[in-house]
Structure formats: structure tokens, C-alpha cells
Amino acid sequence: MKVLKMSVKKRVESRNQANFHTCKTLLNCFIREFCSENSNSFSVSKNKNAYSIYFPTSDVTISGTLSFYSAIGEHEFASFYVNKERKLDYSYLVQLIVKKIKDKHPEITAERSIDFSNKVDNSFQKLALFLEYSVEQHKWDYLTSEQSLLYGHPFHPFPKNTLGFTKDEVKKYCPELRTSFQLCYLAVRNDIYQEEWVSEERRIDLHKSVKEHAQQVLKDKMVSYAILPIHPWQYEHVKTVKEVEDYINQEKIIPLGSLGPVAYPTSSVRTVYIPEMTCNLKLSLNIQITNMMRTNNKEQMRRTLDATRYILQRSCFQEESNTKISYEVGVCTCKFANEDVTKLFTIVYRPIEFDVETTFVLSSLIETPVKRNHSRLYSLTGSQKIEHWFKRYLEISLLPIVRLAEEKGIHFEAHLQNSLLTIKNGMPETFIIRDLEGVSVNIEKVEEDVDTTGPLFYKQEEAWARTSYYFVVNHLGSFIHAIAKDANVEEEHFWGIVRDVLLQEYEKNANEFILHLLTTETFAAKKNMISCLFGKSEAPSYIPVNNIMKKLGSETYGNAKLLV
């Protein structure tokens, strides 16, 4: 009975925590995307410890106190009250927000509004479950960091939405519950099997046990088939598709079932880590994670392989011994006449070439564990002075990125979940960028003999905007928020360090991209809330956010007046 009471108590606590965090995320999204246009909507007291948000269409005010005011907009709330009386429930807040936005955008349909509310609810339910089953990690390594991202994107209205998974499937397949499973495999006849590797030297073989099992099943037919891994949820899903049923009946595909080495789902859910193969597999999963279906389409795979080859040919970061790239080296699939079916099978191989004992996913590092006051990063830095630590971090992350942008025009989608950090003796040792589908190349920096008609190439301002959002606003914004909160200082303190580091680099090398980062008035940030309400996650809208570095002072170098 005591165990049952404790279980009920923890469930209630977890739901309360999930409600509080969901309200925080929704309000921060709303403030960023809508309150900049209506300065009277969001007000903060002079000492920045009290706030209020007015919803005129409902004549309701949400107010309370802040535990930490964020210059980038990632505020930490101590309390939420509705009209200074009752406490706030996330479902009521969704109603207020949707009503307010529809007042300005009446074209948002009832169907889209319901879909939005359902996804927020789905995210809340998943977060409550993850919090209920969260445990203190005694070992902290690459795998643990991949499976500890409880809260997710701080500026997404439903960061833990996995619409399509049942509750039992969540328990089987979601990384936050520290799950593991065997993959399923398909024998695919050679005439419909497709694969492309960046080079033969980088080809990754399947695990020995998988090949042995396939040989036992296929016997002398083995020579006519290739073996394709597939997520176990997707394995069952694809068998319900008519074209796939036809292929199975014709023995173009032979399902082999669940086998092989253990796979661990990582923070993206559909990408798995297989220690026995020392690699990640980016699988297709026909589940809506946040607001997008996570299948690997033809254009995305073309971008991925083109990016890998382009970067390898140009020896990127060769002079930067502490900055690395985690390459995607091969794409495999089963070919159908309909690309919408083909993408259900497409997978990507990404070898692990770093120390898994001391390398961590950054998005997980900066989260504060349940019932803790500081981020995980705080405990790993030990006695290191955080300003010294942060400068070292910028030297191996920001500076190599801006140098490469200037010298070769190559830009990365290096948000926190796409970035890894190796920490040795409490200090940043190696910065690693992964998921090359997001690479963009400034067309103005391309050599004359390169064909620029592919999906990699962008105009300069577009390439700059991508790095400005993904690394400066998304990555550094949340990173600085975490360490400033841990140190109990204003975020501007660390933005000043970023500015100084960039100024010193500009003095050595008149980098045009650095000049842009220091002098532009605003950066463009994704409007995830409005994009979700309009159902256009593949082509999101953007909102300008202030460039804090621009506001921190001015310096003159050469003929360039840097008003920053």
C-alpha cells in the first residue's frame, strides 16, 4: 500500500511539473512571437521579478513572478496566476493563446486549432510520463545524454509530441524511458534495393549475427538479396501499405523479423545508437515527432550525401584539431515507383568516431535534471571558472564555424541537439557537429568549376541567416541561458564574452560574416507556434529577435565602425 501511495504521489507531482513546464514553454513561445508587436501585452517590473501578460480577446491577465529574466526570451517562471486568483492550467492557456491568435488570423481553421491543442496535450502527457519515470543517472556518458533530454526545445509549443505512438509504444521506443530493442530487418531483392556510399572505404557492414540469420533463412537465395534494417514500429507499419504487401507477396521483400544487436533510441527518437556496430542509424519513422513526420525523403538524402562529399573534399576543420564533423556515410532503401513509399524505408549510416565515455549531446547537458537547481553541465565543469570554460568552448565551436563560413562558405545547422561536446578534466576538449542534412553553402564562396544547381547552395544572406538562427539564437541563446542561470548572472555577461571573442577574431582576420554577426540589429528566429497553427512546419515563418551583442557597446577596428 505504501508503494502504491508513493506511486500515486509521484504521478501527481509529475503531472504538476509537466503542467508548469508546458505553461512556461507556451508563454515563452507566445511572448517571442506575438508580444514584440504589442509591447503592452507583456510587461515586466523594473527589478524583473514580476510579469504580466494580457489577453484582450478574453480579458484575462496571466501574472506572477519570474525566477530568472532572460534577455533572449527563455524566461524562468516562479508562478502563474489567472487574474491574480487561480493557478494556470496548460489547457486553459492553449485556449487563450489560440483565441488571441485567431483574432488576428481568422483564416486559421477550427480543424487546425483542434490539431494544435491535441498536440500540446500529447506533449504534456508524454512529458508527465517521462518525469514520472525519471531517475538520477549514476553514470553519465554519450548514451545517457542521448536518453536524458526530458524537456526538449524551449521554444516549441509541443516539444515532446509523438503523435502516432500508443502509450505502450512510448514505453517501448522513447529514449526518455531509457529503452532499448533489437531492430527488424528485411531481405530486399537486389533489383529494388538501392544504396549509395560516399566511398567504399566508409561502407559499414551489418552485424555478423544479422548476416548469419539472413543466410539461414534465405539459403541459396541469399545472393539475390540485400539486408535492410528498419525500426520495429516501422516494420509493422509498412506491412499495412498496399505496395509493400504486393512486394512481400512477390518475394521482392522478405521480412526477417527482430534480430541482431541491441539498438538504443537517441534524443531524436528515430535515430538509434548501436554500440556493437559503433554507429548511429538514422531510421525512417512514420510518426509525428514535434510537428514533422520523421521519414527520410529523396531530397533530404541527396542533401546529406552531397554535403558529406562536399565537406570531405574541402578538408573542413583540418586546421582545427578540436572541432570535428560526424559524417553520414551511406544511404540505403527499398525502391518503389511511389517516392512516398520509398521514403518509409530509407535509412542513413553515421559512424561513431568519438569517445563515448566523455562525449555528450549538448541539448541534454544544459537541461536541469528533476529536483536539481543546476544544469548537468554545471556538475561536469567542476572547479573550473565558468568564464574561462566558456571562452574555451567558443574557441572550439563558434570560431571554427565563422572561419569556415568566411573561407569556404560552408554553414551548419548546428543547433544544440545536432552538437556534441567531449569534456576532459572538466574542460571542453572537442566540439562535434552532426546531421549534415542541414548543411548550406554560400553560393558566392563556391569555386568556379562546381555545379551549384543542387540543394546545398544558397544565396549569402540565406546561408548567413541559417547559421545566425541555428547556432547563435538557438544554440548560444539556450547555452548562455543555462550557464547564466547556474551562475546567477544576467545573460548579457556571457554575450559580452561572445562579442569580445568575435572582435578579437575580427581584428586578426577581417571576417565579413563576423562583421554581420556583430552589427546586424536582429536575427531571425523560427515562429514555431504560428507555423504549427498554420500547419507549415516544413516552411516556417520567422520573427526578428534583438542582437544582444549589438547593444553591448561599440569598438573601432581599422575603417570598420562596429556598433555592437
Give the tens place of pLDDT for each residue, 102-151: 998 999 999 999 999 999 999 999 999 999 999 877 789 999 999 999 99
The CA distance from 365 to 310, in Å, is 30
Distance between CA 44 and CA 73 in Å, rounded? 12
Q: Are residues 327 and 203 in the same domain?
A: yes
Quick check: is 175 in a domain? no
Q: What secondary structure letter does DSSP report for 207?
A: P
Instruction: Specify whether 128 is located in the same domain as 233.
Output: no
**CATH classification of the domain holding 428:** 1.10.510.40
- Does residue 144 sit within a domain? no
Model pLDDT, residue 136: 75
- Report whether pLDDT(529) > 80: yes
> pLDDT-derived band of residue 380, with 50, 70 and 90 as boundaries?
confident
CATH number, position 14: 3.30.310
Domain boundary among 89, 112, 139: 139
Let me know if 69 is exposed, middle or buried by CB neighbors in 10 A (0-12, 13-18, 19+): middle
Judged against a pLDDT cut of 80, whether residue 553 lies above it is answered with: no
Q: Are residues 394 and 328 in the same domain?
A: no
Q: Which of 316, 350, 384 is the last residue of a domain?
A: 350
Beta bridge partners of 52: 43, 63
Mark whether 435 and 552 lie in a shared domain.
Answer: yes
The residue that leads in pLDDT, 554 or 409, is 409
List the one residue out of 149, 154, 167, 181 whose CA is nearest residue 76. 154
If asked whether residues 336 and 363 sit together in one domain, one would say no
Instruction: Quote the cell numbers at residue 117.
Output: 491543442
The backbone torsions φ and ψ at residue 370, rounded to the nearest 5 degrees and listed phi first, read -55, 135
Q: What angle do CA 70, 475, 412 make, to 5 degrees?
A: 155
DSSP for 50-98 reads EEEEEETTTTEEEEEEEEE--TTS--EES--EETTTEEP-HHHHHHHHH
- Domains of the chain: total: 3
C-alpha cell at 487: 551562475
What is the pLDDT, as a whole number, of residue 293?
82
In this structure, which amino acid lies at residue 433? I
Q: What is the pLDDT of residues 429-472, one digit of tens each?
A: 999 999 999 999 999 999 878 999 888 999 999 999 999 999 99
What gap in Å lies between CA 101 and CA 34, rounded to an integer? 9
CA dihedral 193, 194, 199, 204 (to 10 degrees): -50
| pLDDT tens, residue by residue, 169-221 | 999 999 999 999 999 999 999 999 999 999 999 999 999 999 999 999 999 99
- Alpha carbon distances (Å) from 134 to 24, 253, 348, 475, 482: 20, 40, 30, 25, 20
What is the radius of gyration, based on Cα positions, of the chain? 24
Contact by Cβ (8 Å): 228, 186: yes
| Residue showing cell 565579413 | 512
Q: Sorting pLDDT into bands at 50, 70 and 90, what band is 90?
A: very high
Pairing verdict, β 542-546 and 60-68: unpaired
Q: Does a structural domain hold residue 151?
A: no
* 351 SS3 class: strand
Q: 178, exposed or middle or buried, with CB in 10 Å at 0-12, 13-18, 19+?
A: middle
Q: What is the 3-state secondary structure (H, E, C) of 430-476?
A: EEEECCHHHCEEEHHHCCCCCCCCCCCEECHHHHHHHHHHHHHHHHH
Task: Record the pTM.
Answer: 0.94
Q: Is residue 272 in some structural domain?
A: yes
Sorting pLDDT into bands at 50, 70 and 90, what band is 38?
low
Q: Say if 166 falls within a structural domain.
A: no
Distance CA 495, CA 71 (A): 10
**Is residue 410 domain-shared with residue 520, that is, in the same domain?**
yes
436 and 478 part of one domain: yes
Distance CA 326, CA 310 (A): 14
Same domain, 338 and 200: yes
Q: Which three cell numbers stand for residue 34?
A: 506575438
Neighbours of 353 (CB within 10 A): 12
Question: What is the rounded average pLDDT for all residues in the chain?
Answer: 93
Q: Are residues 346 and 363 in the same domain?
A: no
Question: pLDDT-based confidence at 542, cuts 50/70/90?
Answer: very high
Q: What is the pLDDT of residue 333?
A: 98
112 in Cβ contact with 535 (< 8 Å): yes
| Residues 492 and 556 reside in one and the same domain | yes
Confidence check: pLDDT of 36 > 80: no
pLDDT reading at 560 higher than 80: no
Domain-embedded: residue 399: yes
User: Residue 199 in contact with residue 236, Cβ under 8 Å?
Assistant: no
Instruction: State residue 288's pLDDT score.
Output: 85
Proportion of the chain above pLDDT 90, given as a percent: 85
> Taking Cα atoms as reference points, which of 416, 456, 415 lies closest to residue 300?
456
Whose cell is 497553427? That residue is 533
Backbone phi, psi, residue 257, to 5°: 85, -165
Half-sphere exposure of 224 (CA within 13 A, CB side): 10
What are the residue ranges of helices labelled H in 314-446?
339-342, 362-365, 376-380, 386-396, 398-408
Return the pLDDT at 2.
42
Would residue 437 count as lying in a domain? yes
pLDDT grade, residue 1 (50/70/90)? very low
Q: Is 440 left (phi over 0), alpha (psi -120 to 50) or beta?
A: beta
Confidence grade of residue 562 (pLDDT, cut at 50, 70, 90) = very low
- Which structural domain, as residue segments, surrounds residue 521? 358-563
In a domain, 148, yes or no: no
**287 and 241 within one domain:** yes
Q: Which one of 332, 350, 368 terminates a domain?
A: 350
Predicted local confidence at residue 296, as pLDDT:
94
Residues 297 and 383 in one domain: no
> 4-14: per-residue pLDDT in tens?
455 888 999 99
